[in-house]
Protein backbone atom coordinates (compact mmCIF):
# COMPACT_ATOMS: atom_id res chain seq x y z
CA UNK A 1 0.00 0.00 0.00
CA UNK A 2 1.34 3.38 -1.01
CA UNK A 3 0.34 4.93 2.33
CA UNK A 4 2.79 2.63 4.09
CA UNK A 5 5.67 4.14 2.06
CA UNK A 6 5.04 7.71 3.23
CA UNK A 7 2.93 9.06 0.36
CA UNK A 8 -0.51 10.47 1.01
CA UNK A 9 -3.02 7.58 1.01
CA UNK A 10 -6.67 7.63 -0.07
CA UNK A 11 -7.93 5.92 3.09
CA UNK A 12 -6.74 5.90 6.69
CA UNK A 13 -7.94 3.18 9.05
CA UNK A 14 -7.42 4.17 12.69
CA UNK A 15 -7.57 2.05 15.84
CA UNK A 16 -7.58 3.59 19.32
CA UNK A 17 -5.80 0.98 21.42
CA UNK A 18 -5.31 0.49 25.15
CA UNK A 19 -3.96 -2.92 26.17
CA UNK A 20 -5.39 -4.91 23.24
CA UNK A 21 -2.47 -7.27 22.66
CA UNK A 22 -4.83 -10.17 22.07
CA UNK A 23 -6.67 -8.62 19.16
CA UNK A 24 -4.71 -5.72 17.65
CA UNK A 25 -2.55 -7.90 15.39
CA UNK A 26 -5.57 -9.66 13.86
CA UNK A 27 -7.40 -6.35 13.43
CA UNK A 28 -4.50 -4.67 11.64
CA UNK A 29 -4.00 -7.69 9.39
CA UNK A 30 -7.67 -7.87 8.43
CA UNK A 31 -7.81 -4.13 7.76
CA UNK A 32 -4.82 -4.33 5.42
CA UNK A 33 -6.31 -7.32 3.64
CA UNK A 34 -9.59 -5.43 3.18
CA UNK A 35 -7.82 -2.40 1.69
CA UNK A 36 -5.73 -4.53 -0.65
CA UNK A 37 -8.68 -6.66 -1.69
CA UNK A 38 -10.70 -3.58 -2.66
CA UNK A 39 -7.76 -1.95 -4.45
CA UNK A 40 -7.74 0.95 -1.99
CA UNK A 41 -4.55 2.87 -1.40
CA UNK A 42 -4.50 3.18 2.37
CA UNK A 43 -2.75 3.10 5.72
CA UNK A 44 -3.51 1.60 9.11
CA UNK A 45 -2.80 3.83 12.11
CA UNK A 46 -2.85 2.52 15.68
CA UNK A 47 -3.05 5.09 18.48
CA UNK A 48 -1.40 3.45 21.46
CA UNK A 49 -3.15 4.95 24.48
CA UNK A 50 -0.60 4.21 27.24
CA UNK A 51 -0.71 0.44 26.73
CA UNK A 52 1.44 -1.72 29.01
CA UNK A 53 0.99 -5.11 27.34
CA UNK A 54 3.06 -4.68 24.18
CA UNK A 55 0.12 -3.71 21.95
CA UNK A 56 2.19 -1.06 20.17
CA UNK A 57 4.94 -3.51 19.21
CA UNK A 58 2.42 -6.05 17.92
CA UNK A 59 0.67 -3.42 15.80
CA UNK A 60 3.96 -2.18 14.35
CA UNK A 61 5.00 -5.76 13.62
CA UNK A 62 1.87 -6.22 11.52
CA UNK A 63 2.63 -3.12 9.45
CA UNK A 64 0.64 -0.40 11.21
CA UNK A 65 1.90 3.13 11.81
CA UNK A 66 1.88 3.52 15.59
CA UNK A 67 1.22 6.86 17.29
CA UNK A 68 1.66 7.19 21.05
CA UNK A 69 -0.99 9.24 22.90
CA UNK A 70 -0.11 9.51 26.60
CA UNK A 71 -3.39 11.13 27.71
CA UNK A 72 -5.67 8.25 28.69
CA UNK A 73 -9.20 8.22 27.33
CA UNK A 74 -11.10 7.03 24.27
CA UNK A 75 -11.73 10.60 23.16
CA UNK A 76 -8.07 11.57 23.42
CA UNK A 77 -7.04 8.52 21.38
CA UNK A 78 -9.63 8.99 18.64
CA UNK A 79 -8.95 12.72 18.29
CA UNK A 80 -5.21 12.05 18.02
CA UNK A 81 -5.88 9.39 15.39
CA UNK A 82 -8.08 11.73 13.36
CA UNK A 83 -5.40 14.42 13.46
CA UNK A 84 -2.64 11.98 12.43
CA UNK A 85 -4.60 10.26 9.64
CA UNK A 86 -3.44 11.30 6.17
CA UNK A 87 -6.24 9.87 4.04
CA UNK A 88 -9.11 11.85 2.57
CA UNK A 89 -11.48 9.17 3.92
CA UNK A 90 -10.96 8.00 7.50
CA UNK A 91 -12.36 4.77 8.95
CA UNK A 92 -12.26 4.14 12.69
CA UNK A 93 -12.74 0.83 14.48
CA UNK A 94 -12.09 -0.69 17.90
CA UNK A 95 -9.03 -2.86 18.35
CA UNK A 96 -10.83 -5.72 20.10
CA UNK A 97 -11.91 -7.75 17.07
CA UNK A 98 -15.62 -6.96 17.37
CA UNK A 99 -16.02 -5.08 14.08
CA UNK A 100 -15.94 -6.49 10.52
CA UNK A 101 -12.83 -5.11 8.82
CA UNK A 102 -13.98 -6.81 5.62
CA UNK A 103 -16.70 -4.13 5.40
CA UNK A 104 -14.23 -1.22 5.37
CA UNK A 105 -14.67 -0.87 1.57
CA UNK A 106 -18.47 -0.56 2.05
CA UNK A 107 -17.96 2.34 4.45
CA UNK A 108 -15.50 4.00 2.08
CA UNK A 109 -17.92 3.68 -0.85
CA UNK A 110 -20.70 5.24 1.25
CA UNK A 111 -18.49 8.30 1.69
CA UNK A 112 -16.84 8.53 -1.72
CA UNK A 113 -19.66 7.43 -4.02
CA UNK A 114 -22.88 8.13 -2.12
CA UNK A 115 -21.95 11.49 -0.65
CA UNK A 116 -22.09 10.73 3.08
CA UNK A 117 -19.98 12.88 5.39
CA UNK A 118 -20.22 10.50 8.34
CA UNK A 119 -21.13 6.81 8.17
CA UNK A 120 -21.95 4.86 11.34
CA UNK A 121 -22.29 1.14 11.80
CA UNK A 122 -25.54 -0.31 13.12
CA UNK A 123 -24.92 -3.38 15.26
CA UNK A 124 -28.66 -4.02 15.58
CA UNK A 125 -29.16 -4.41 11.85
CA UNK A 126 -27.59 -7.89 11.69
CA UNK A 127 -27.87 -10.95 13.87
CA UNK A 128 -25.24 -11.14 16.60
CA UNK A 129 -24.17 -13.98 18.81
CA UNK A 130 -25.43 -14.00 22.41
CA UNK A 131 -21.91 -13.29 23.71
CA UNK A 132 -21.17 -10.37 21.38
CA UNK A 133 -22.96 -7.74 23.45
CA UNK A 134 -24.14 -7.98 27.09
CA UNK A 135 -27.92 -8.28 27.50
CA UNK A 136 -28.25 -4.93 29.31
CA UNK A 137 -26.28 -3.13 26.60
CA UNK A 138 -28.24 -4.67 23.74
CA UNK A 139 -31.76 -4.46 25.16
CA UNK A 140 -31.63 -1.49 27.51
CA UNK A 141 -28.57 0.79 27.47
CA UNK A 142 -27.89 1.28 23.77
CA UNK A 143 -31.55 1.39 22.64
CA UNK A 144 -32.45 3.83 25.42
CA UNK A 145 -29.57 6.22 24.73
CA UNK A 146 -30.07 5.99 20.95
CA UNK A 147 -33.77 6.76 21.38
CA UNK A 148 -32.88 9.72 23.59
CA UNK A 149 -30.52 11.07 20.92
CA UNK A 150 -33.12 10.64 18.17
CA UNK A 151 -35.74 12.47 20.25
CA UNK A 152 -33.59 15.37 21.45
CA UNK A 153 -31.25 15.90 18.51
CA UNK A 154 -33.32 14.47 15.63
CA UNK A 155 -30.47 12.11 14.72
CA UNK A 156 -31.76 9.36 12.37
CA UNK A 157 -29.60 6.53 13.75
CA UNK A 158 -30.45 3.34 15.59
CA UNK A 159 -27.01 2.79 17.15
CA UNK A 160 -25.26 5.98 18.23
CA UNK A 161 -22.50 4.15 20.12
CA UNK A 162 -21.14 1.94 17.37
CA UNK A 163 -17.37 2.40 17.16
CA UNK A 164 -17.07 1.56 13.46
CA UNK A 165 -17.40 4.76 11.48
CA UNK A 166 -16.11 6.46 8.35
CA UNK A 167 -15.91 10.16 7.57
CA UNK A 168 -14.50 12.72 5.19
CA UNK A 169 -11.44 14.64 6.29
CA UNK A 170 -13.40 17.87 5.83
CA UNK A 171 -16.11 16.58 8.20
CA UNK A 172 -13.52 16.05 10.94
CA UNK A 173 -12.59 19.72 10.80
CA UNK A 174 -16.23 20.80 10.76
CA UNK A 175 -17.10 18.80 13.88
CA UNK A 176 -14.26 20.25 16.02
CA UNK A 177 -14.37 17.38 18.50
CA UNK A 178 -13.45 18.07 22.14
CA UNK A 179 -14.59 15.13 24.30
CA UNK A 180 -11.94 13.13 26.14
CA UNK A 181 -13.89 9.97 26.96
CA UNK A 182 -16.47 7.59 25.54
CA UNK A 183 -18.94 10.46 25.10
CA UNK A 184 -16.98 11.43 21.97
CA UNK A 185 -19.16 8.91 20.11
CA UNK A 186 -22.24 11.00 20.97
CA UNK A 187 -20.45 14.30 20.36
CA UNK A 188 -19.46 13.24 16.86
CA UNK A 189 -23.02 12.40 15.82
CA UNK A 190 -24.65 15.42 17.45
CA UNK A 191 -22.15 17.85 15.96
CA UNK A 192 -22.43 16.26 12.53
CA UNK A 193 -26.18 16.82 12.68
CA UNK A 194 -25.71 20.36 14.00
CA UNK A 195 -23.34 21.21 11.12
CA UNK A 196 -25.82 19.83 8.57
CA UNK A 197 -23.44 17.05 7.55
CA UNK A 198 -24.95 14.08 5.77
CA UNK A 199 -25.06 11.13 8.18
CA UNK A 200 -25.89 7.57 7.10
CA UNK A 201 -25.87 4.11 8.67
CA UNK A 202 -24.76 0.64 7.54
CA UNK A 203 -25.86 -2.59 9.20
CA UNK A 204 -22.88 -4.62 10.39
CA UNK A 205 -22.34 -7.94 12.19
CA UNK A 206 -20.91 -7.75 15.69
CA UNK A 207 -18.51 -10.30 17.14
CA UNK A 208 -17.44 -11.24 20.68
CA UNK A 209 -14.47 -9.15 21.74
CA UNK A 210 -10.95 -10.50 22.14
CA UNK A 211 -9.58 -9.87 25.61
CA UNK A 212 -11.04 -8.06 28.59
CA UNK A 213 -13.51 -5.23 28.10
CA UNK A 214 -12.43 -1.73 29.23
CA UNK A 215 -16.02 -0.47 29.17
CA UNK A 216 -17.53 0.56 32.50
CA UNK A 217 -21.18 0.12 31.72
CA UNK A 218 -22.82 2.54 34.14
CA UNK A 219 -20.07 5.15 34.32
CA UNK A 220 -19.64 5.37 30.56
CA UNK A 221 -23.39 5.22 29.98
CA UNK A 222 -23.88 8.12 32.37
CA UNK A 223 -21.20 10.14 30.56
CA UNK A 224 -23.26 9.85 27.38
CA UNK A 225 -26.42 10.89 29.24
CA UNK A 226 -24.59 13.76 30.93
CA UNK A 227 -23.25 14.98 27.60
CA UNK A 228 -26.74 15.00 26.07
CA UNK A 229 -28.04 16.89 29.11
CA UNK A 230 -25.33 19.51 28.68
CA UNK A 231 -26.26 19.92 25.02
CA UNK A 232 -29.99 20.28 25.77
CA UNK A 233 -30.43 23.10 28.32
CA UNK A 234 -33.86 24.08 27.05
CA UNK A 235 -35.24 20.53 27.02
CA UNK A 236 -33.85 19.38 30.36
CA UNK A 237 -33.46 22.63 32.32
CA UNK A 238 -35.37 25.63 30.96
CA UNK A 239 -38.83 24.15 30.25
CA UNK A 240 -38.94 21.90 33.35
CA UNK A 241 -37.68 24.84 35.43
CA UNK A 242 -40.38 27.15 34.12
CA UNK A 243 -43.02 24.49 34.83
CA UNK A 244 -41.82 23.94 38.40
CA UNK A 245 -41.61 27.67 39.04
CA UNK A 246 -45.11 28.28 37.68
CA UNK A 247 -46.67 25.43 39.67
CA UNK A 248 -44.81 26.36 42.87
CA UNK A 249 -45.75 30.03 42.71
CA UNK A 250 -49.36 29.21 41.80
CA UNK A 251 -49.68 27.03 44.91
CA UNK A 252 -48.24 29.77 47.11
CA UNK A 253 -50.47 32.47 45.63
CA UNK A 254 -53.50 30.21 46.13
CA UNK A 255 -52.67 29.85 49.82
CA UNK A 256 -51.75 33.48 50.59
CA UNK A 257 -55.20 34.08 52.10
CA UNK A 258 -55.04 30.91 54.18
CA UNK A 259 -55.82 27.16 53.90
CA UNK A 260 -58.06 26.00 51.04
CA UNK A 261 -59.93 22.82 50.23
CA UNK A 262 -58.62 21.52 46.91
CA UNK A 263 -59.34 18.07 45.43
CA UNK A 264 -61.08 16.93 48.62
CA UNK A 265 -58.01 17.81 50.70
CA UNK A 266 -57.14 20.78 52.85
CA UNK A 267 -54.07 22.53 51.47
CA UNK A 268 -52.20 24.31 54.24
CA UNK A 269 -48.65 24.94 55.41
CA UNK A 270 -47.18 21.64 54.16
CA UNK A 271 -48.55 22.21 50.65
CA UNK A 272 -47.21 25.74 50.82
CA UNK A 273 -43.75 24.45 51.66
CA UNK A 274 -43.97 22.03 48.73
CA UNK A 275 -44.80 25.00 46.49
CA UNK A 276 -41.78 26.87 47.91
CA UNK A 277 -39.49 23.91 47.17
CA UNK A 278 -40.85 23.57 43.61
CA UNK A 279 -40.40 27.26 42.87
CA UNK A 280 -36.83 27.33 44.22
CA UNK A 281 -35.80 24.25 42.25
CA UNK A 282 -37.43 25.70 39.14
CA UNK A 283 -35.65 29.04 39.57
CA UNK A 284 -32.31 27.23 39.94
CA UNK A 285 -32.89 25.17 36.79
CA UNK A 286 -33.75 28.31 34.79
CA UNK A 287 -30.57 30.04 35.96
CA UNK A 288 -28.49 26.96 35.10
CA UNK A 289 -30.09 26.85 31.64
CA UNK A 290 -28.97 30.41 30.87
CA UNK A 291 -25.41 29.73 32.07
CA UNK A 292 -25.37 26.47 30.09
CA UNK A 293 -26.46 28.25 26.91
CA UNK A 294 -23.72 30.87 27.30
CA UNK A 295 -21.12 28.18 27.97
CA UNK A 296 -22.29 26.11 24.97
CA UNK A 297 -21.72 29.11 22.73
CA UNK A 298 -18.22 29.61 24.13
CA UNK A 299 -17.32 25.94 23.60
CA UNK A 300 -18.89 25.78 20.14
CA UNK A 301 -21.38 23.13 21.21
CA UNK A 302 -24.40 22.30 19.06
CA UNK A 303 -27.47 24.54 19.18
CA UNK A 304 -29.37 23.95 15.94
CA UNK A 305 -31.82 21.61 17.67
CA UNK A 306 -32.92 24.40 20.03
CA UNK A 307 -34.26 27.63 18.46
CA UNK A 308 -34.98 28.95 21.97
CA UNK A 309 -31.33 28.45 22.97
CA UNK A 310 -30.24 30.43 19.91
CA UNK A 311 -32.60 33.27 20.77
CA UNK A 312 -31.42 33.37 24.39
CA UNK A 313 -27.79 33.42 23.25
CA UNK A 314 -28.60 36.32 20.89
CA UNK A 315 -30.37 38.28 23.64
CA UNK A 316 -27.41 38.04 26.00
CA UNK A 317 -27.69 38.39 29.76
CA UNK A 318 -29.52 41.75 29.73
CA UNK A 319 -33.14 40.48 29.84
CA UNK A 320 -32.31 37.93 32.55
CA UNK A 321 -30.67 40.64 34.65
CA UNK A 322 -33.69 42.94 34.27
CA UNK A 323 -36.10 40.15 35.21
CA UNK A 324 -33.88 39.14 38.13
CA UNK A 325 -33.81 42.68 39.53
CA UNK A 326 -37.60 43.03 39.19
CA UNK A 327 -38.38 39.69 40.81
CA UNK A 328 -35.84 40.16 43.63
CA UNK A 329 -37.20 43.63 44.44
CA UNK A 330 -40.74 42.25 44.49
CA UNK A 331 -39.72 39.60 47.01
CA UNK A 332 -37.79 42.15 49.06
CA UNK A 333 -40.82 44.48 49.08
CA UNK A 334 -43.08 41.67 50.33
CA UNK A 335 -40.59 40.88 53.10
CA UNK A 336 -40.43 44.58 54.02
CA UNK A 337 -44.23 44.78 54.13
CA UNK A 338 -44.42 41.87 56.58
CA UNK A 339 -41.70 43.41 58.78
CA UNK A 340 -43.51 46.77 58.82
CA UNK A 341 -46.73 45.06 59.91
CA UNK A 342 -44.81 43.19 62.59
CA UNK A 343 -43.26 46.41 63.89
CA UNK A 344 -46.67 48.12 63.85
CA UNK A 345 -48.11 45.31 65.96
CA UNK A 346 -45.45 45.87 68.60
CA UNK A 347 -43.54 42.69 67.73
CA UNK A 348 -46.59 40.62 68.55
CA UNK A 349 -47.79 37.34 67.08
CA UNK A 350 -47.38 37.14 63.32
CA UNK A 351 -49.28 34.84 60.99
CA UNK A 352 -47.66 35.50 57.63
CA UNK A 353 -46.07 32.22 56.58
CA UNK A 354 -47.86 32.06 53.19
CA UNK A 355 -46.76 35.61 52.34
CA UNK A 356 -43.20 34.98 53.53
CA UNK A 357 -42.81 31.77 51.51
CA UNK A 358 -43.96 33.56 48.35
CA UNK A 359 -41.66 36.50 49.15
CA UNK A 360 -38.78 34.08 49.68
CA UNK A 361 -39.46 32.38 46.34
CA UNK A 362 -39.36 35.72 44.55
CA UNK A 363 -36.29 37.01 46.39
CA UNK A 364 -34.22 33.83 45.92
CA UNK A 365 -35.30 33.42 42.28
CA UNK A 366 -34.31 37.00 41.50
CA UNK A 367 -30.92 36.65 43.20
CA UNK A 368 -30.23 33.35 41.41
CA UNK A 369 -31.06 34.90 38.06
CA UNK A 370 -28.83 37.89 38.80
CA UNK A 371 -26.02 35.44 39.61
CA UNK A 372 -26.72 33.52 36.38
CA UNK A 373 -26.70 36.77 34.40
CA UNK A 374 -23.36 37.70 36.00
CA UNK A 375 -21.84 34.33 35.10
CA UNK A 376 -23.23 34.51 31.56
CA UNK A 377 -21.71 37.97 31.15
CA UNK A 378 -18.32 36.70 32.34
CA UNK A 379 -18.51 33.87 29.81
CA UNK A 380 -19.47 36.28 27.02
CA UNK A 381 -16.63 38.65 27.94
CA UNK A 382 -14.20 35.74 27.88
CA UNK A 383 -15.58 34.65 24.51
CA UNK A 384 -15.11 38.15 23.10
CA UNK A 385 -11.59 38.44 24.49
CA UNK A 386 -10.56 35.06 23.11
CA UNK A 387 -11.77 35.95 19.62
CA UNK A 388 -10.36 39.48 19.50
CA UNK A 389 -7.16 40.01 17.52
CA UNK A 390 -4.08 40.14 19.74
CA UNK A 391 -2.32 43.51 19.95
CA UNK A 392 1.22 42.59 20.97
CA UNK A 393 3.04 45.34 19.11
CA UNK A 394 4.18 43.15 16.27
pLDDT at 394: 42
Q: Check residue 382 and give left, alpha or beta (phi > 0: left; psi -120 to 50: alpha).
A: alpha
What architecture (CATH level 2) is domain 2-230?
A: Alpha-Beta Complex (3.90)
Q: How confident is the model at residue 31 (pLDDT cuts 50, 70, 90)?
A: very high
Task: Give the pLDDT confidence of 246-299 residue by residue, as tens digits.
Answer: 999 999 999 888 888 888 888 888 899 999 999 999 999 999 988 888 877 776
Average pLDDT rounded to a whole number, residues 123-150: 66
- Per-residue pLDDT at 217 exceeds 90: no
Higher pLDDT, 41 or 133: 41
Q: What are phi and psi of 128, to 5 degrees?
A: -130, 150
Q: How confident is the model at residue 104 (pLDDT cuts 50, 70, 90)?
A: very high
Which SS3 state, helix, strand or coil, does residue 234 take?
Answer: helix
Task: Give the pLDDT confidence of 177-187 residue by residue, as tens digits.
Answer: 988 888 888 88
pLDDT at 393: 45
- Per-residue pLDDT at 380 exceeds 80: no
Measure the CA–CA gap between 217 and 232, rounded to whole angstroms.
23
Instruction: Name residue 66's beta-bridge partners.
Output: 46
The four Cα atoms 182, 183, 184, 185 give a dihedral, to 10 degrees, of 90
DSSP E strands, the chain: 11-17, 42-48, 65-68, 89-92, 118-122, 165-168, 199-203, 260-262, 265-267
Amino acid sequence: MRGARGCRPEVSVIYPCHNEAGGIGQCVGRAMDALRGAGLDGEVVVIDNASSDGSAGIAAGHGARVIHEPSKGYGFAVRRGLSEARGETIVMLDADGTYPEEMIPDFVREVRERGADLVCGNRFGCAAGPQAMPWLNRHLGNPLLSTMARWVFKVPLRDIHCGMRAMRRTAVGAMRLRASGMELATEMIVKASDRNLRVSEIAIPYRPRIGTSKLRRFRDGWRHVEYMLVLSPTVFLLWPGLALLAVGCAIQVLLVAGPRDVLFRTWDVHTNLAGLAASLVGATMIGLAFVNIALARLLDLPSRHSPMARRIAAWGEGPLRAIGVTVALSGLAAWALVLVRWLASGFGALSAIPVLTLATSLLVAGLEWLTAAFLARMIQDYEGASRAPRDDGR
